[in-house]
């Protein structure tokens, strides 16, 4: 990339196939800032094709194609086109690829190729460069969703309503080793640490206010730094470090006693932060709008896996509910019986979104869908979170959410299940250029051998 930059003239272009981690991970931040300083991004191309997230022939990791234009400082800034691919280029004919390229260049919102089982093969959205530049801390937000309405909704929340997580909380540490202690399910008589071990169903609970169901006994104090556990590794508030969204019941929850964890980050609230505001953050993160938010901010590994590294999480934008008057916040939480919702059994995120998408088909708007779900004992507590979450965001300035949001999210999750998760074990992208060159080489080698004999 550096060599390409040296060879590229002003107004020249560089096309790069890179891992999509360049868009979000802290280790790539200096590269993103370097790009923003010396280039304009003409295109960011990402694949949502089933099982084919990469452009290279030798990787199983998701990749992006960046097209950069070298520019002088102070020169006119261009629009950045984000292109979402729904079909693999590798499976297209030459004339279809030509039509695709023309559609991208013409900035068509939806690019249609007739005669295909899925006629819409790609979509494009233009972003003002100033906006892209301001999002340099996490460009993944621009490509997190195939649906452009969800992208725009998420960006507006981040840009207008949020403050970094570190404003509210200090982030503790996870137990990232397995030697020198034992994890058990039965509470010992003494000398133990309460723990939340594993994610999803493995935690043992499906509520937002719970008692830890695992216990850690230290068997070798020479290996385990358990003296730090009480102060830096434990809390009554946890947020996901890494997990598969389909198996999750919660992304953030409260505990009735301090606990340690291997896959949940302990959060220590600021002493000045009222309990009502802590509860508001927990409600938002576990609501459908919060799930959209966390999907847009995650470090993507594959499919529906979500990861939040420590440095990344401290900068996670969270709606600043402190701007809501405390009495008003208390009124909303009380009227919607949030204490009961925190102790009530929640359906899994997957089951809930699927059910809500079905209900939504027979309702006219978000609020009507919520009211229907509140009548269902299996859905009512999670629906209450959705209702309150939107009320709180509305008070901060979010006037509307995407029409048919549950159907959009359900479809998004299904797409992400099929990206990488559905890839055949030995699948690779065919490198047609390399294959063609190899064929020519073999042909002439054969002729050369015949000539020599």
Rounded Cα–Cα distance for residues 373 and 347 (Å): 12
Q: Treating both helix axes as pointing N-terminal to C-terminal, what angle do 380-396 and 366-374 enclose, rounded to 10 degrees?
A: 150
Give phi and psi for 16, each to the nearest 5.
Answer: -130, 130
> 125: part of which helix (H) or strand (E)?
strand 120-128
* Residue range 2-143 in CATH 3.40.50.150: yes
Mean of all residue pLDDT scores within the chain: 88
Helix, strand, coil percent content, the chain, rounded in steps of 5: 45, 20, 35
**443 contacts: CB under 8 Å, gap ≥ 6:** none
Q: What is the pLDDT of residue 441?
A: 54
Phi, then psi, of 310 in degrees rounded to 5: -60, -50
User: What letters, b where the CB count within 10 A reaches 16 and e where it falls short, cover 30-49?
Assistant: eebeebbeebbbbbbbbbbb
Give the residue extent of every domain in the chain: 2-143, 167-418
CA of 231: how far to CAs of 170, 188, 228, 254, 260, in Å?
A: 12, 21, 6, 17, 10
At residue 433, the pLDDT reads: 46
> What's the CA gap between 155 and 20, in Å, rounded?
18
Whose tokens are 């723990």? That residue is: 195
Tens-digit pLDDT profile for residues 177-211: 888 899 999 999 888 999 999 888 788 789 999 99
Tokens of 166: 């570190």
Q: Is residue 402 very low, low, confident or very high in pLDDT (cuts 50, 70, 90)?
A: very high
Kind and range of the H or E run holding 218: strand 214-218
User: According to the per-residue pLDDT averaged within each range, which of 9-23, 52-66, 289-303, 359-373 is highest?
Assistant: 359-373
**pLDDT at residue 194 in the model:** 94
What CA–CA distance (Å, rounded) separates 447 from 453? 10
Question: Is-contact 350 410, C-beta < 8 A?
Answer: no
Report the pLDDT value the prediction gives residue 324, as an integer from 0 to 100: 96
* Residue 431 confidence class, pLDDT cut points 50, 70, 90: very low
Task: Spell out the residues 6+ positions from residue 117 whose beta carbon is closer than 8 angstroms to its own.
Answer: none
How would residue 449 be classed by pLDDT, with cut points 50, 70 and 90?
Answer: low
Q: Which two tokens stand for residue 419?
A: 């990206």
Which pLDDT belongs to residue 178? 81
The pLDDT value given to residue 131: 93
Query: Residue 132 in contact with residue 39, Cβ under 8 Å?
Result: no
pLDDT digits (tens, 9 = 90+) for 337-361: 999 999 999 999 999 999 999 999 9
pLDDT of residue 103: 94
Residue 71 to residue 233: CA distance in whole angstroms: 47
């Amino acid at each position: 990339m550096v060599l390409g930059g040296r060879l590229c003239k002003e107004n020249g272009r560089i096309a790069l196939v890179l891992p999509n981690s360049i868009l979000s991970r802290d280790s790539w931040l200096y590269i993103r800032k370097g790009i923003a300083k010396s280039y304009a991004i003409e295109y960011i191309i990402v694949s949502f094709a089933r099982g084919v997230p990469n452009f290279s022939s030798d990787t199983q990791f998701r990749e992006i194609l960046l097209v950069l234009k070298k520019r002088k400082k102070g020169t006119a800034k261009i629009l950045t086109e984000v292109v979402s691919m729904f079909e693999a280029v590798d499976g297209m004919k030459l004339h279809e690829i030509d039509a695709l390229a023309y559609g991208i260049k013409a900035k068509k919102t939806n690019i249609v190729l007739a005669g295909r089982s899925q006629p819409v093969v790609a979509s494009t959205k233009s972003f003002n460069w100033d906006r892209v530049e301001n999002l340099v801390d996490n460009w993944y937000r621009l490509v997190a969703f195939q649906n452009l309405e969800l992208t725009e909704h998420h960006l507006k929340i981040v840009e207008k309503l949020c403050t970094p997580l570190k404003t509210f909380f200090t982030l503790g540490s996870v137990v990232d080793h397995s030697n020198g202690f034992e994890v058990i399910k039965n509470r010992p008589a003494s000398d133990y640490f309460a723990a939340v071990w594993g994610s999803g169903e493995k935690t043992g609970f499906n509520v937002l206010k719970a008692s830890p169901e695992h216990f850690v006994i230290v068997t070798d104090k020479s290996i385990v730094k358990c003296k730090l556990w009480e102060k830096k590794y434990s809390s009554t508030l946890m947020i996901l470090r890494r997990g598969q969204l389909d198996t999750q019941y919660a992304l953030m929850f409260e505990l009735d006693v301090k606990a340690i964890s291997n896959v949940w980050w302990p959060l220590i609230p600021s002493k000045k932060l009222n309990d009502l505001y802590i509860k508001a953050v927990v409600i938002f993160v576990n609501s459908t709008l919060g799930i959209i938010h966390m999907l847009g901010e995650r470090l993507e590994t594959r499919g529906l896996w979500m990861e939040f590294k420590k440095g990344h999480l401290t900068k996670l934008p969270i709606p600043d509910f402190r701007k809501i008057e405390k009495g008003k916040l208390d009124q909303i939480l009380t009227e919607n019986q949030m204490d009961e919702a925190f102790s009530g059994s929640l359906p899994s995120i997957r089951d809930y979104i699927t059910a809500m998408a079905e209900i939504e088909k027979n309702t006219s708007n978000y609020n009507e869908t919520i009211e229907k779900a509140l009548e269902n004992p299996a859905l009512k507590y999670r629906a209450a979170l959705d209702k309150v979450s939107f009320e709180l965001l509305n008070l901060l300035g979010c006037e509307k959410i995407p029409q048919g949001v549950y159907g959009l999210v359900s479809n998004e999750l299904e797409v992400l299940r099929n990206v990488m998760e559905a890839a055949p074990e030995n699948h690779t992208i065919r490198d047609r250029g390399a294959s063609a060159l190899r064929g020519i080489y073999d042909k002439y080698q054969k002729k050369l051998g015949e000539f020599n004999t």
